[in-house]
Chains A and B, each alone.
Chain A
């Protein structure tokens, strides 16, 4: 072990040499590499977690730079997938951490392969559909996961421990209705750091064998309004919960929750996952070049083209983002017009 690198963290008595060795043997999955994911990935990389897996379906855009700390203007200009850009930056920060970057949706088949190998999942997603999926897969494989979410100057976080705390499904009645989370009220960067500092501290406790120090509480705060709230969550556990009780059936795994189309929150963008995968990106690009009206951009991971007031981004895994509309039908029509 490079003792100097982690010297200050090892000096911190609750971690010490033993805790640091545990960290180095740990594998953490971070789902989402936006604001929360960037920040917690950097913190865990600096702390010396042995193995990180990042999943993200998006690429870097200008409006991300205000709060997504791993990304640069060059990443934005090159439209780098966030998972890839994050991995590059993290490898510069700490070359000893093994980092796996997955460009795609956190969908059930991918999670089934990764989650059994991990010690912990950090939630950095932007939607409850994925969180409920994470919740059930974490329950199934008995892994802890740490919910975190932010909007405006407000943040909320909770650590879900199998067999010990309520799970997200226990709290289902408190999940806002579909779409209600697509607030267009913006966000300030410090609230990201505050949620992440909570999430990463809980992660360090779990990974270094300090479970007794975990908060056990549902924590929320509004930095602008100077509010801070903690609620003892144990009483919210449901004895008949379909995800964590003895009668469990994992409802969020039972059906393939992958939507064929999804509207991305506050982005004026629709994601399409066509039944039939398009041809490889080079072939699609060749075909599109015949139309002189179309402005093309390509990198090794995606192909982007502009036409009328829309921009379409195709990924290697077959997904397409249609920017410039929130209308799923319109997005499909545009997709079929140019990609068959």
Chain B
């Protein structure tokens, strides 16, 4: 399945079924992330319910502190 993450195309395997799976796949688990799935901001508890489909758009933002 091909999805778009932060503007770039990404080919993911079958086992990446939902947003939580994608976070694990990207090795971002445990980080506080603001996630938008097809222009809908998700709460953390929704990550496992948000099923990924071919062509989906995901935006992931995290805060940093440096200045």
Interface 0/1 of A6-45, CB less than 8 Å to B: 0000000000000000000000000010111100000000
Interface 0/1 of A95-137, CB less than 8 Å to B: 0000000000000000000000000000111111000000000
Q: Which single member of B39, B44, B66 contacts A150 (CB below 8 Å)? A: B66
Q: Which of A218-244 contact B (CB under 8 A)?
A: 218, 220, 222, 225-232, 235-236
Whether A150 touches B32, Cβ cut-off 8 Å, given contacts A228-B6, A232-B39, is no
CA distance A228 to B36 in the complex (A): 13
Q: Which of B7, B44, B65 has the most CB of A within 10 A?
A: B65
- Is B61 a contact of A218 with CB atoms below 8 Å? yes
Whether A37 touches B32, Cβ cut-off 8 Å, given contacts A176-B62, A218-B61, is no
Q: Which single member of A150, A218, A230 contacts B64 (CB below 8 Å)? A: A150
CB-nearest residue of chain B relative to A222?
B6
- Is A174 a contact of B32 with CB atoms below 8 Å? yes
CA distance A290 to B36 in the complex (A): 63
Q: Which residues of B lie under 8 Å from residue A34 when comparing CB positions?
A: 67
- Is B34 a contact of A151 with CB atoms below 8 Å? no
- Is A149 a contact of B67 with CB atoms below 8 Å? yes
Q: How far is the CB of A120 from chain B (nearest CB, A)?
A: 17
Q: Which residues of A lie under 8 Å from residue B67 when comparing CB positions?
A: 32, 34-37, 123-126, 148-150
Interface 0/1 of B25-46, CB less than 8 Å to A: 0000001111010010100100
Whether A220 touches B66, Cβ cut-off 8 Å, given contacts A228-B7, A229-B6, is no
Q: Which residues of B lie under 8 Å from residue A218 when comparing CB positions?
A: 34, 61
Q: Which residues of B lie under 8 Å from residue A150 when comparing CB positions?
A: 64, 66-67
- Is B59 a contact of A230 with CB atoms below 8 Å? yes
**B8 CB-CB contact with A under 8 Å:** yes
**A154 CB-CB contact with B under 8 Å:** yes
CA distance A127 to B31 in the complex (A): 17
Q: Which residues of A lie under 8 Å from residue B34 when comparing CB positions?
A: 171, 174, 218, 231, 236
CB-nearest residue of chain A relative to B65?
A181
CA distance A35 to B34 in the complex (A): 25
**A175 CB-CB contact with B under 8 Å:** yes
- Is A149 a contact of B41 with CB atoms below 8 Å? no
Q: Which residues of A lie under 8 Å from residue B44 when comparing CB positions?
A: 173
Q: Which of B8, B31, B36 has the most CB of A within 10 A?
A: B36
**A47 CB-CB contact with B under 8 Å:** no
- Is B59 a contact of A176 with CB atoms below 8 Å? no
Q: Which residues of B lie under 8 Å from residue A123 when comparing CB positions?
A: 67
CA distance A124 to B44 in the complex (A): 29
Q: List 6 A-B contacts (CB under 8 A).
A: A127-B65, A171-B63, A176-B65, A220-B6, A227-B7, A228-B7
With A32-B67, A232-B41 already in contact, 7 other A-B pairs whose C-beta atoms are closer than 8 Å: A156-B62, A156-B63, A226-B7, A227-B7, A227-B8, A228-B7, A231-B59
Query: Which 3 pairs from chain A and chain B are nearest by CB?
Result: A181-B65, A227-B6, A126-B67
Residues of A within 8 A of B (CB): 32, 34-37, 123-128, 148-151, 154-156, 171, 173-176, 181-183, 187, 218, 220, 222, 225-232, 235-236, 265
